[in-house]
Amino acid sequence: MIRLKKIKSLKERVQIRKCGEVFHLVSKGVVCEESEEIFSYLLTLLNDEDRAKAVYYHSKGRFDDIYYLTLGVLGESPADWDMMDDDGLIDFSCRTVFHHSLYLDSIRSPFNVGSIFRSAEAFGVESIILRPGSADPHHARAEKSSKGCVSAIPYSFSEIEEMDTSLPVFALEVGGVDIDTFDFPEKGICIIGNEESGVSPSALKIADMSLGRVSIRQYGAKGSINVASATSIMLSLWANSSARRSRDV
């Protein structure tokens, strides 16, 4: 549990964040001997309206509401707090990284590119290659949907013909091996296709000469899901496959 002395040494925004984290833990039953002192100090960091709310929540024992109040003060959401360092930045040094790479084959939506970066960070992707014409990961909408994860993963722009084919390559595309039975490689590159037309013929040719195509079985009437959502499903299974291999060694 963080101490009040440590909290006071941080920047003001981080002080509010850390105070909120304390009461999130208290709401879960974690004992904090300095909780009353930390609460009193938190009150000095809030405006009159938020201070009154905090006092009310504290009087009712609604400690998690104090946590969410501090989130609102900072204009953040719970996901923005994950693995923060003392400067209020996401600490990516704790990531488990697999030898998994993605090739984004002309993903044009900044929202989708950012969402893919977010999932890639969560599931241990080592690097991302974008085909020229894909949205810039630092586009405002990409940055927003990535939740800060653009800075976590090395990326570059490269034509498909420049791909390192010494590594196994497969494409996430319809008409392939069922993802539940696909033998994911320990090291490799997965090609993710365009929102409208899917993986390009030139990219499919490279995949088909290597590990081929993998497909997600669907049961709905529409028969399609968002490219970022599909990527998340694939990355979760790939990461779990590599994690199991690591445990079995």
Per-residue pLDDT of the chain (249 residues), as tens digits, is 789 999 999 999 999 989 998 998 898 888 889 999 999 999 999 999 999 999 999 999 999 999 999 988 988 766 554 545 445 456 666 778 999 999 999 999 999 999 999 999 999 999 999 999 999 999 999 988 988 889 889 999 999 999 888 999 999 999 999 999 999 999 999 999 998 889 999 999 999 999 999 999 999 887 778 999 999 999 999 999 999 887 765
Last residue of one domain, picked from the residues 71, 91, 111: 91
Q: Are 105 and 213 in contact (CB under 8 A)?
A: no
Residue 249, CB-side half-sphere exposure with 13 Å CA sphere:
7
Provide the number of structural domains found in the chain: 2
At position 213, the amino acid (one-letter code) is R
- Contact (Cβ atoms closer than 8 angstroms) between residue 139 and residue 166: no
- Measured at the alpha carbon of residue 41, what is the angle toward residues 37 and 45, in degrees to the nearest 5? 165
Whether 151 and 80 map to the same domain: the answer is: no
Segment (H or E) for 161: none
Strand blocks (E) in 36-149: 100-104, 127-130
**CB neighbour class for 159 (10 Å; exposed up to 12, middle 13-18, buried from 19):** exposed
Is residue 233 domain-shared with residue 117, that is, in the same domain? Answer: yes
Separation between Cα atoms, residue 119 and residue 227, nearest integer Å: 12
pTM over 0.85: no
Residues 178 and 121 in one domain: yes
> Residue 16 is part of which domain span?
4-91
